[in-house]
Every structure is written in C-alpha cells, then in structure tokens.
Amino acid sequence: MLVLAVTLTIFLIVAGLLLYALIRYRHKNLETYNEPAQIYGSNQIELAWTVVPALIVVMLFLTSSRIILATQDSKKPENAVDVVTIGHQFWWEFRYPKLGVVTANELHVPVSTAADPMPTYLELSSADVDHSFWVPRLAGKTDLIPNRVNTMWIDPEQPGLYLGQCANFCGVQHAKMLLRVYADTPAQFAAWVEQQKKPAVNDPRVAEGRQIFLHSACVNCHTVSGTIANGRFGPDLTHLASRDTIASGAFENTPDNLRKWIDDPDSMKPGSLMPPMHLTDHDLNAVTAYLTTLR
Amino acid sequence: MADSMSSLPSVETIDLTSHQRPRRLVLEVLHDWVTTVDHKKIGLMYIGYALIFLVVGGVQALVMRIQLAVPHNSFVSPDVFNRLFTMHGTTMVFFMGMPILFGFANYLVPLMIGARDMAFPRLNAFSFWISALGGLLLYYSYIGGSGLYGMGSAPDVGWFAYAPLTMKAFSPGHSTDYWAISLILSGIGSIGTAINIVVTIITMRCPGMTLNRMPLLAWLNLVMASMVFIAVSPLTAAQIMLMLDRYLGSHFFDTQAGGSAVLWIHFFWIFGHPEVYILVLPAFAFMNEIIPVFSRKAIFGYPAMVAASVGIGFISMSVWAHHMFTVGMGAGANVFFVFSSMVIAVPTGIKIFNWLATIWGGKVRFASPMLFSVGFLFQFLIAGLTGIMLAAAPFDWQLNMSYFVVAHFHYVLVGGILFTIFAAFYYWYPKVTGRMMNERLARWHFWMMVIGFHMTFDFMHIPGLLGMPRRIYTYEPGRGWDVWNLIVTIGAFIQAIAIILFVINLIRSYYKGEIAGNDPWDAWTLEWSTASPPPVYNFAITPVVHSRRPLWDIKHPEDPDWNYE
C-alpha cells in the first residue's frame, strides 16, 4: 500500500505539472514570432530533484528490505506442516513426509490463525522444467526449479478453496496446470489426513476393472497404494475419487470426464504427457468404474 | 519557416527531392541499395525492415488477443499460441526494436556530428545484412523446423527460452535451434553497428564539436552502443552453450545431468535487462532533440542529462536479478537488487524533470512530433512508476510473470519507445524525403493510438493484479479476468487501425507531401543545415560549430549559445 501511495502521489504531482505546463505555455499567437527566454539549467532546482527522489528511493528500499528479511528468513515453527511439492509437466505432486500422505494437484492445508499458528511449509522442486507455485490470495509465487530446492510458507487464516496456477511457462499445457488449495479447519484437516493415509479402497464390485487396470500400462506411471501399481511419472491415484477435479484442475472429476480422459487425454488437454490407453469400450467402462471407487 | 533561413550562410548542395531526381532503371536502383555502404541508405533499410516486422509482430499480437478475448476460447490451438507469444516477443525486441533504433542512429549520428559517413561503412553494411539474415532465418523456422509429434516449426519456448525447457529432452526438433542461431547472427550485426557508432562519435565529430557540445542524441547512442558490447555477449555465450547442450553432449543447463537452470536465467537477464535500456536510450535521444525544438527552448540541464544517461547505462548493468526475485535467491541478493532497481529511478526521474523544465516557460507547438512526445512523457512516467512498484520484491513476488508485468513493459515499449519512434518519424521524415507528412492523418494516428493504447495497456494491469499469469493460451472463467481481457483485445484492434493510418501516411506523403526544404521545423542541429534529402556526402563543406546549437547561433547572432555554455 505504501508503494502504491508513494507512486500515485508522484504521478499526480509530475503529471499535474506537465499538464499545467503544456496548457500554460502553449504557443498561442502564431503571428508574432519571438523565441522565449532560453533557460539552460539551474543548479539548485536540479539538486533538489535529485535529492528528494533519492530519499524516496531510500525509504521504499528500507521498507521492502524489512519485508524481504521478515518473510525469507523467518524461523519455521515446530508444528508446521511439511509438504514436498514437485512440479511436473503439467501437474503437481504433493507429498506430506511426516504424515505419510501422497496426493496430486489439490493441496489440503490446515488454517493458521494468530491464536493457533500452523503454517504449511512447502519444499519446492521440479521433475522436469521450471514451474512456479502461485496462489495469489495466499502468498507470492516461488519457482520450482529442477536440481534445486526452494522453500516457501503459507498460512491461510480463513477456511475455503484458494485457486492458483503454474506461473512459469513450462510447455504446451502450462495454462492448464491449475492449483487448488483447500484450507481446512483442524478437524477437517485431521479427517482428510486419516482418509488419505489409508491404502486404496478394494471394492469387490469393481474387481474386473481393478484387474484390467493392474494389467494395463497404467501401472507404469501411476501409484495405487496397496496394489502393485507404483509408477511415479503420473499423479498418485490412490484417492482419486476424493478429488474435485482431474487433469490438474482442468476438468471436473465426473465419471464421464474421467472416461474421456483415459480414452484420449489429448482430446481434452492436447499436449499432456499421458498417452491414450487404447482400451476397448468394455475395458474402459470397467476401469473408470474402478477408479471412481478410489475415495 | 523556410524563409527565415535565407540569411543562413548555407552550404551549396544539390537538390535531391524526389521531383528533381533523374529516373533510373529498377535493376540499377536495387543494385544501388544492395551494395550500398552509405549510412543513410543502410539506416533506411534497417528502418524499412523493422517496419515490416512491426506489422508481423502486430498481427501475432492480434491473433493472441482474439484467443484471449474470452475464456476457454479455441481460436488457435495451445501450441500455435505458444509459438505466437514466443515469436511476437523475439520479433519485436530483436527484429523491430533493435533494427529501427540502429536505423535511426545510422542515419542521424553522422549528420548530427557533421561527419561524412560512419567510421566503417563496409562493416555497417555487413551488420545490416547479417541482422537481416537472422530475421529471415527465424521466420524460416515456420516452414523449415521439424520435430517429433508435429512439434517444432517456429520456436515455442518463450522469448527468454528458459532452460531446461529448451533442452533436447523437452524441445525435440529444431525450433529452438532456429531461435538460438538467428539471434546469434543478429547479435553479430548489433555488435558491428555498435562499433561503428562508438568509433564514429569518438573520432569523427566536426571541428569545434567537443563531447560537451555534441547533440544529446549522439550521447545517448554512444552510451547505448557501449552497452551493446557488454550486454549482447552474455546472450551469445548462453546461446552457444545451449547449442552445445543440445548437440554436443554438454550439460551447462541440462538439469537432468546436474546442470543449472538458474545459470541460464542469470545469463539471459544479464543480457535482457541492459537490452531494454538499450532500447529505451535512443527513445530518450529522440525526445532530447524534439521536445526542445517544439518548446522553442534549449534542453534544460544538458550536463545533468548527459550524466543521467551515462548513469542509467551503468546502473542498468546491475539490476538484472529483479527478474529473478521468485527464483529463490537469498535475502541478501534480493535486497541488493531491490536497491539497484530503485536507484535507477533517480537518473530516470531527472530526465523526466528536465523535459518538464524544458517545456516550462516555452512556447509549445503541438505539431505531430510534439503530440507523440507528450504522449511519451505521460506514459513513460506511469511505466516508470509501475517499474518502481515491481522493484519492491515483495510486490514482485505476487506480480512477477503476471499480466501486470506484461502491462508494465508494454507501457514502456509501446507507450514509451514506440511513441518516440513515431515522433522521430514525423520529425525526420522531411529531412529524409524532402516532404512533410500529412498533419491531419497524423492527428488521427495519434488519437487512435492513445485511445487504443490506453484501452489495452491500462486495463491489462487489472487481470495481473487479480492473479492472471502470462503465457497462457486460455484461462478459467470465474477468476474475474474475463471482461478486462475483452477490453484489452478491443484496444489492440484500435491500435492496429492507427498503425495502418501511419503506414498510409508514410507512403502517401512520399508522393504528395508538401515540399519541406532544409529546415521545416526551425531546428538547431546540424542535420537541418543540409538539403532534404541530404546529398550522399552530407555536407559540401565540413561544418564548424561553437556551441551545442550551431543553427541557433546562426539564426540568433545577437544572442548565441556560446555565451551561456
């Protein structure tokens, strides 16, 4: 706000003077032609308009530095939630090492109030190219750079859903690498963690779909905990049905969308790195039915 | 105005305005231009070449804006969009901005310092042609590039081509190679031209023209050219390293083998930030010549203007990592770059204040060059202030890579630099062609540009503030960005119309413009003492100067400048 106030004031003063000068000193009577007095400079005025801006700059600099130091070098509290965030083309991997939870694209964090602080510390890296984690209503962005670990923290005070997306061009579907951060009340968060820690639901009604899934190429890229599927190239699907969206926030998580996605991801998010699975209609229906039980 | 020149002890020159020249064969004309080493013709070729790319880059922008006018649009596919923003940025910076400013420098610097040509005419020609080759090579990528899965053709990695997206693993095919090689070529051309500018200014000033009496345009081009030496080298080095990574198995930026993505970012911005000052200093140069003439007063504070320009040149070398505040540098580094980025506002502010003081107490004539200069003054002020906002790193953590930044830099590039380029066209066109441009059409051009520019770039700040990142081919509805994007798109089309009017004016005035004479604006620098257009040798007798405004001294023998300097 201070920065905005200072720059706005400067604008109003300088633009005001400029406008005044252009009106007051316009060449009115073109018939008479005398050149105006030629003024070549003025040491006092020039000194003044060097010193005053310099002082303003110093003030803005000190304010910014204070905030930088407070944000970047703040100490991590004991009870902070740790999340390892790994950027992929074009989805987000979230791992909670201390809680034993692995998920994708939808980040759940507890609210953090002044009375009961519980910030979430994100450790950011990338599996491929540069990405950037940006949820504007929660914090500024920090880049995810391969071969490098960055850290940032968020502490949402209000429960709710906060939207964001990747903010560093990462390839064809950069625009659809969306972020959803769910700030949960402590009770909601605890329930969510409990749920996510469990291995995959094993519903006998979709046993056929489960078999097909485990014998298809799916397992090369995806993990479903409690089964032999432990691929790491694609999102963890253990609790896929507990998520609101698929394809990194690009589509609503409905059976229809899911079926279309598995059939041909390129038709929905062209350039996404998941290949079409070339399943028969029957198999497709079975696998979709299976995945919708993975709550 | 031409009448008051009758007492000028003018150098006799051959009148070469178009209605007097003998007609020649087409092949003769082409041969003349292709083999010329004359700085004026080379300058005009640079400018013509840049104007073509202005239109191409503009069309690319319009297509992007149609795609972004509404959310979830499907006017172009994602990969086409990604190629568009890459090519738009690369084209506008390297094949529009640099050439047009080199073109003006080439044409004007020898004339303004009383020289016969540039110091190295053949190097000059070579620099133009190799830059031209660079541009053609970049565009050849549309048909020549190839790769897997239909990816390839034109580059699609963004104009700053961050590694490791540009590695073979993530950009198979040749599009990135076209990007790197075409810029290496145009970089060679830039360095050649910079050598010419520096040497010409240092060694070929006419008698009496000490550095302290040199027109500010020459000073600013001197600083700009020096910056080119320092800034282009890191880019060329990085591009060579990129090619080595892609083809010869090195791993400078290849993170999968231990290379550093951040290294590319440093190299690129060590080039990239001085580059934008390289673009803006010649814009200031035009303002330093035009504003005094149309305010009828000498530039206020010439020594301070020189010092500020040199200061900006130096400081601009030390601010690059303000493009990297989100990369995760330590607090100390971030703090340093906040400081340097804010400090550069002081000399830049001095320049704005000096222009204001030049106008103050003058007799302002609002001819077309001055209209665009006034637009520049307000718009550059705003652009500088949004720059200060971005220099505050915590602000930048939110706004980096968002449409706020896009709005900021277009404010500088279009609202600032392009407006000064238009001013320069209107001002020097009479000198180059011997004819005036049409003032009525110029006014239409100006007002349409102002309306279109502000409609696009004022409102563009808002989606940025509301969280819209850049380089996205579409966006989700319900984020609050929709209506602003639509307004931005409409403004873009208004600007397109303005540019069409400008091009019509350029062409029409060549045949039908009012004959200008030597000095239609009643100006004070040496180029106005010779014919319009100048003869190939510029001056029949080498001028001798005694002050910063030699023609003022001649026109006002009772009150020459040398009494005050």
Q: Do A177 and A214 belong together in one domain?
A: no
DSSP sequence for A87-154: EETTEEEEEETTTTEEEESEEEEE---SSS---EEEEEEESSS-EEEE-TTT---EEE-BT--EEEEE
CA separation for the pair B414, B92 (Å, rounded): 10
- What is the chain A residue with the closest CA to B171? A171
CA separation for the pair B316, B313 (Å, rounded): 5
* Most A CBs within 10 Å, among B476, B558, B559, to test the A interface: B476
Model pLDDT for residues B39-60, shown as the tens digit of each residue: 999 999 999 999 999 999 999 9
Q: Which ipTM was obtained for this model? A: 0.95
The stretch A214-240 carries a mean pLDDT of 95
Question: In chain B, what is the greatest distance between 2 CA atoms, to the nearest angstrom?
Answer: 76
Q: Which of A39, A69, A129 sits opposite B170 (nearest CB)?
A: A129
Question: CA separation (Å) from B222 to A188, B113, B193, B202, B487?
Answer: 65, 12, 11, 9, 40
User: β-strands A106-110, A120-126: how paired?
Assistant: unpaired
The stretch B80-101 carries a mean pLDDT of 97
Could you tell me the two tokens for B102? 């080199």
Model pLDDT for residues B220-252, shown as the tens digit of each residue: 999 999 999 999 999 999 999 999 999 999 999
* Number of domains forming the structure of chain A: 2
Is residue B134 scored above 90 in pLDDT? yes
- Which residue from B422, B443, B454 is spatially nearest to B283, judged by alpha carbons? B422
Q: Do A245 and A158 belong together in one domain?
A: no
- Put simply, whether A51 touches B (Cβ < 8 Å) is no
- Put simply, whether A68 touches B (Cβ < 8 Å) is yes
Verify whether the Cβ–Cβ distance A71 to B395 is below 8 Å.
no
- Residue A3 with chain B: CB contacts under 8 Å: 388-389, 392, 395
Model pLDDT for residues B150-196, shown as the tens digit of each residue: 545 899 999 999 999 999 999 988 899 999 999 999 999 999 999 99
Q: Do A287 and A215 belong together in one domain?
A: yes
The stretch A122-132 carries a mean pLDDT of 96
Task: Please tell me whether the peptide bond between B164 and the residue prior to it is cis, using omega within 30 degrees of 0.
Answer: yes
The stretch B265-289 carries a mean pLDDT of 97
- Residue A49 with chain B: CB contacts under 8 Å: 349-350, 353
Distance from CA of B41 to the nearest CA of A (A): 35
Residue whose entry in the numeric block shows the structure tokens 């307000």: B378
Q: Which of A134, A150, A185 is the last residue of a domain?
A: A185
CA separation for the pair B166, B159 (Å, rounded): 11
Is residue B20 scored above 80 in pLDDT? no
- Residue B354 with chain A: CB contacts under 8 Å: 46
Q: Which of B164, B361, B398 sits opposite A39 (nearest CB)?
A: B361
Verify whether the Cβ–Cβ distance A17 to B356 is below 8 Å.
yes
Question: In chain A, what is the greatest distance between 2 CA atoms, to the nearest angstrom?
Answer: 100
CA separation for the pair A148, A142 (Å, rounded): 12
The count of CB pairs under 8 A between chains A and B is 243
Verify whether the Cβ–Cβ distance B334 to A72 is below 8 Å.
yes
* Most B CBs within 10 Å, among A40, A69, A173, to test the B interface: A40
- Which residue from B261, B392, B271, B400 is spatially nearest to B324, judged by alpha carbons? B400
CATH number of the domain that residue A287 is part of = 2.60.40.420
Hey, how many other C-beta atoms are within 10 angstroms of the C-beta on A55? 11
The stretch B503-508 carries a mean pLDDT of 97
Q: Do A280 and A212 belong together in one domain?
A: yes
- Residue B165 with chain A: CB contacts under 8 Å: 129-130, 169-171
Q: Note the pLDDT of residue B3.
A: 37
A167-A168-A171 Cα angle (round to 5): 115
The stretch B536-541 carries a mean pLDDT of 93
Question: CA separation (Å) from A34 to A30, A132, B35, B165, B556?
Answer: 10, 61, 47, 63, 11
- Under 8 Å between Cβ of B220 and B282: yes
* Most B CBs within 10 Å, among A42, A63, A141, to test the B interface: A141
Provide φ and ψ at A116, rounded to 5°: -130, 75
- Put simply, whether A150 touches B (Cβ < 8 Å) is yes
Q: Is B528 or B565 the better-scoring residue by pLDDT? A: B528
- Which residue from A147, A108, A250, A142 is spatially nearest to B476, judged by alpha carbons? A250
CA separation for the pair A138, A133 (Å, rounded): 11
The stretch B384-400 carries a mean pLDDT of 95
Q: What pTM was computed for the model?
A: 0.94
- Under 8 Å between Cβ of A91 and A248: yes
- Residue B562 with chain A: CB contacts under 8 Å: none
- Under 8 Å between Cβ of B357 and B301: yes
Could you tell me the two tokens for B428? 């020097």
Domain ranges (residues) in chain B:
39-563
Distance from CA of B287 to the nearest CA of A (A): 15
Is residue B19 scored above 60 in pLDDT? no
Could you tell me the two tokens for B476? 């989700």
- Residue B301 with chain A: CB contacts under 8 Å: 40-42, 46
Could you tell me the two tokens for A8? 């706005």
* pLDDT confidence bin for B339, thresholds 50/70/90: very high
Q: Note the pLDDT of residue B172.
A: 86
- Under 8 Å between Cβ of A121 and A98: no
Question: Distance from CA of residue B400 to its chain's centroid?
Answer: 23
- Residue B466 with chain A: CB contacts under 8 Å: 136
Sequence length of chain B is: 565
The residue range of the domain holding A210 is 204-291
Q: Which of A25, A50, A61 sits opposite B360 (nearest CB)?
A: A25
- Put simply, whether A245 touches B (Cβ < 8 Å) is no
Residues whose CB falls within 8 Å of the CB of residue B25, separated by 6 or more in sequence, listed in order:
none
* pLDDT confidence bin for B7, thresholds 50/70/90: very low
CA separation for the pair B458, B378 (Å, rounded): 13
CATH 1.20.210.10 fits B39-563, yes or no: yes
- What is the chain A residue with the closest CA to B383? A11
CA separation for the pair B85, B64 (Å, rounded): 8
- Residue A64 with chain B: CB contacts under 8 Å: 335, 338, 391-395
Q: Do A213 and A275 belong together in one domain?
A: yes
The stretch A62-82 carries a mean pLDDT of 91
Is residue A253 scored above 90 in pLDDT? yes
Distance from CA of B255 to the nearest CA of A (A): 6
Task: Please tell me whether the peptide bond between B347 and the residue prior to it is cis, using omega within 30 degrees of 0.
Answer: no
Model pLDDT for residues B33-43, shown as the tens digit of each residue: 999 999 999 99
- Under 8 Å between Cβ of A253 and A247: no
Q: Residues 107..136 of A with a Cβ closer than 8 Å to B: which?
A: 124, 128-130, 132, 134, 136
CA separation for the pair B559, B468 (Å, rounded): 58
The pLDDT mean for chain B works out to 93
Provide φ and ψ at B318, rounded to 5°: -115, 15
* Most A CBs within 10 Å, among B291, B399, B462, B472, to test the A interface: B472
B247-B252-B257 Cα angle (round to 5): 85
Burial class for B109, CB neighbours closer than 10 Å (0-12, 13-18, 19+):
buried
- Residue B331 with chain A: CB contacts under 8 Å: 68-69, 72-73
- Residue A73 with chain B: CB contacts under 8 Å: 331
CA separation for the pair A270, A253 (Å, rounded): 18
Residue B53 one-letter amino acid: F
* pLDDT confidence bin for B9, thresholds 50/70/90: very low
- Which residue from B277, B280, B382, B262 is spatially nearest to B325, judged by alpha carbons? B262
Is residue A119 scored above 70 in pLDDT? yes
Among A31-40, B72-81, B490-499, which stretch is predicted with the lowest mean pLDDT?
Answer: A31-40
Verify whether the Cβ–Cβ distance A145 to B262 is below 8 Å.
yes
Residue A131 lies in a domain: yes
Q: Which of B162, B262, B331 sits opposite A69 (nearest CB)?
A: B331
Q: Note the pLDDT of residue A30.
A: 64
Q: Note the pLDDT of residue A135.
A: 97
CA separation for the pair B286, A7 (Å, rounded): 26
- What is the chain A residue with the closest CA to B465? A136
Model pLDDT for residues A15-34, shown as the tens digit of each residue: 999 999 999 999 876 666 78
Among A75-79, A159-163, B394-398, which stretch is predicted with the lowest mean pLDDT?
Answer: A75-79
